[in-house]
Homo-oligomer: A and B are copies of this chain.
Amino acid sequence: MNPMLVDVMRGDHLESQHAGAVYVVDDRGTELLSIGDVNALLFPRSAIKIMQALPLVESGAAKKYDLNNRQLALVCSSHNGEPAHTQTAESILRAATLSASLLECGAHMPYHKASEYQLVRSNQAPCALHNNCSGKHSGMLAFAAHQGFELFNYIDLQHPVQQTIADVISDLTEFDIQSAPCAKDGCSVPTWAAPLKSWAQALAKISRGKGLGESRKNAFASLQQAVMAEPFYVAGTDRYCTNSMAKLSTPLFIKTGAEGVFCATLPEHGIGITLKCSDGSTRGAEMMLSATLKKLGLLKDNDQAVLDQMLNITLKNCNDFAVAQIKPASFWGF
């Protein structure tokens, strides 16, 4: 069983706890942190969108369609469905002369409340562009168009888009993805389960391209740079991924996935991070990543104040009283 890593306090008393597993490794293979069952098979969900985005860049499609940092960040994103996000998804499709009607991710209301309410007020249903995965799907379609693949059913496991991604993931994780548990993600594309530590090892390779071929190294550098340069486009207003990358001056690539997953890299240090909050909660996973960053001690000195804020989250009730607090559990020894 994974250890308790996050405490949720009400007043001065422990109310809830989150257990988790964390693995941090560098691209020389040095294990920097190993907590809990890091050999457990983990569905990384949206936390590896950078791996799913790789074929778009490596194939030359992103260059051909002249995609900019915002567009590339959106391909790696789980976005809020804010107007800037939906417009950017549309612009990716337009660059490849594709229509939004080709998107197979399904529709859901924007995560962003004001954007949700804007749709409600104008009596509009959400469309596939509002789906938090529409950037990824637009990138998959652009890649398919560039390769001359059939566009229909690009979400299917056997479609060459998904098989190309499976090969990328197998190469990076050194885990046989073809025989791994495979399930459907929220946006209907395949998600494969590999050992938690294998995902972190893959991210360490991605971080500065060590051991990768030149084109793959450059493609991952472009994608990380795009996300770090335009963090609003990888998530959005009031989101952990966006805020942490925007506020911390240390170069960091951070991406969350459903059910309490985070993948991250510290490109200057060649480090990959993967973690899972056992119960799947977002608040638990976010605090685990903040605690991991503190434990590693690699952030720049001028980032300490921001990190301290990230390590002590106060929750207010609807009368604006501070009623609860989320913080690292005693396990961390802070």
List residues of A whose CB falls within 8 A of some B CB.
Answer: 1, 4, 8, 10-13, 15-19, 41, 43, 104-108, 117, 120-121, 123, 131, 181-188, 191, 193, 259-260, 278-281, 284, 317-321, 323-324
CB distance from A283 to the nearest CB of B (A): 9
Closest B-chain residue to A181, C-beta based? B13
28 A–B contacts, CB within 8 A, in A order: A1-B4, A1-B19, A8-B259, A10-B183, A11-B182, A11-B184, A13-B181, A15-B280, A16-B259, A16-B278, A18-B279, A19-B19, A19-B279, A105-B319, A106-B319, A106-B320, A120-B120, A121-B121, A121-B123, A131-B318, A184-B321, A184-B323, A186-B317, A186-B323, A187-B317, A188-B321, A278-B279, A279-B284
**Option from B11, B43, B186, B278 in Cβ contact (under 8 Å) with A183:** B11
User: In the complex, are the beta carbons of B17 and A278 less than 8 A apart?
Assistant: yes
Is the CB–CB distance between A323 and B183 below 8 Å?
yes
**Smallest CB–CB gap between A104 and chain B, Å?**
7
Are the C-beta atoms of A317 and B184 separated by less than 8 Å?
yes
Copies of this chain, how many? 2
Contact check: which of B108, B319, B324 meets A318 at CB < 8 Å? B108
Q: Which residues of B contact A19 (CB under 8 A)?
A: 1, 19, 279
> A108 contacts which chain B residues (CB < 8 A)?
318
CB proximity of A258 to chain B, nearest CB, Å: 9
User: How far is A166 from B232 in the complex, measured between Cα atoms in Å?
Assistant: 48
Q: Which of B106, B107, B117, B318 contacts A120 (CB 8 A)?
A: B117
Asked if B43 and A10 make an inter-chain contact with CB atoms under 8 angstroms apart, the answer reads yes
A15 to B12, CA, bound (A): 32
Q: Are B260 and A16 in contact (CB under 8 A)?
A: yes
Measured between beta carbons, the chain B residues less than 8 angstroms from A183 are 10-13, 323-324
A66 vs B64: C-alpha distance in the bound complex, in angstroms? 75
Given contacts A11-B182, A13-B183, contact A319 B104 (CB under 8 A): yes
The smallest beta-carbon distance between A114 and chain B, in angstroms, is 10
Min distance, Cβ A187 to any Cβ of chain B, angstroms: 7
Give A277 Cβ to nearest chain B Cβ, in Å: 8
> Are A186 and B318 neighbours in the complex by a CB distance under 8 Å?
yes
B43 near A193: Cβ-Cβ < 8 Å: no
What residues on B are CB-neighbors of A259 within 8 Å? Answer: 8, 10, 15-16
